[in-house]
Structure 1
Amino acid sequence: MTTITLVQGDITRQSVDAIVNAANSSLLGGGGVDGAIHRRGGPAILAECRKLRASQYGKGLATGRAVATTAGELDAQWVIHTVGPVWQGPGSDPSLLASCYRESLQVAAQLGARTVAFPAISTGVFRWPMEEAARVAVQTVRDADTTVEEVRFVLFDEGAYEAFAEQVR
């Protein structure tokens, strides 16, 4: 069974096997978590992302999918990039958000990762409500059939931490 832990802080400072990046579909960096991971991880991450774009992901990475690269200078072996859905308002389908967590765990398991750090995917500029995003994230991880031993949700602020803590209780 996978252990779920919560940390309030900076995901780029975590020491884990894999760090999940809330990427944009271009895989070429951006703002928020994506920008922070690319900045702290250095040019090796972007170089591998460019190779992915030049090969099987010419049109970018689809929402809900996941792919791994080196972690560059981060204290991890891999970065798993996943593209979260943009919240479309009440009634938005959470299945693609769940897919981000499920597919990231599948990629992590294929790599042999035992510890994985996740941000709160889609809750920044993609506007997914934190409480619902936390519910989807925690339930998806709990339901996952994975060899990953620890999933660490790394939440940027107290509000996000509390929303996830409510789901883990």
Structure 2
Amino acid sequence: MITTAGKLPAKAVIHTVGPIWNGGEHGEEKQLSNCYIHAIELAVKRDLKTIAFPNISTGVYRFPKKQAAGIAIKTVKELKRTCFN
């Protein structure tokens, strides 16, 4: 979902609900990767030129921070390689 940014210094805010960590045996990695993919797709559709991400699902959803960061980096690099070259 995308909303206005209110008083933030941005054009929009893209909202996503990341997966709850359940030990990594329930597709959490793919679900998390999809959060980044769909957010980028939405940004492209809205012609946004930059995007910043928090470490999705690493707070109350308990996704391990280092693992989540690796998934984010891998997903964004792969998307850039396959879709933006």
The answer to whether the superposition gives a TM-score over 0.5 is: yes
Query: Which sections of structure 1, spanning at least 5 residues, go unmatched?
Result: 1-66, 148-169
Partner of 2:25: 91
CA offsets per residue over residues 109-146 of structure 1, 9 Å max, x none?
A: 00111110100000000000012101110000001125
Question: 80, 103, 111: which one pairs with 2:38?
Answer: 103
1:117 to 40, 52, 58: 52
> Which structure has the higher relative contact order (CA within 8 Å, separation 6+)?
1
Q: Deviations over 1:21-80 (max 9, x none)?
A: xxxxxxxxxxxxxxxxxxxxxxxxxxxxxxxxxxxxxxxxxxxxxx11100110001000
**Structure 1 residue identity aligned to 2:63:** W
Aligned positions of 1:4-15 closer than 5 A: none
Q: Do the aligned partners of residues 81 and 74 (structure 1) sit closer, same or farther apart at CA in structure 2, a change above 3 Å counting?
A: same
Structure having the higher strand fraction is 1
Report the identity percentage: 43
Say which one has the larger Rg. 1
RMSD over aligned CA atoms reads: 1.4
Evaluate the alpha carbon distance shift between residue 92 and residue 130 of structure 1 in structure 2; reply closer, same or farther with a 3 A threshold: farther
Return the alpha-carbon distance in structure 2 between the equivalents of residues 146 and 78 of structure 1.
Answer: 21
TM normalised by structure 1 equals: 0.46
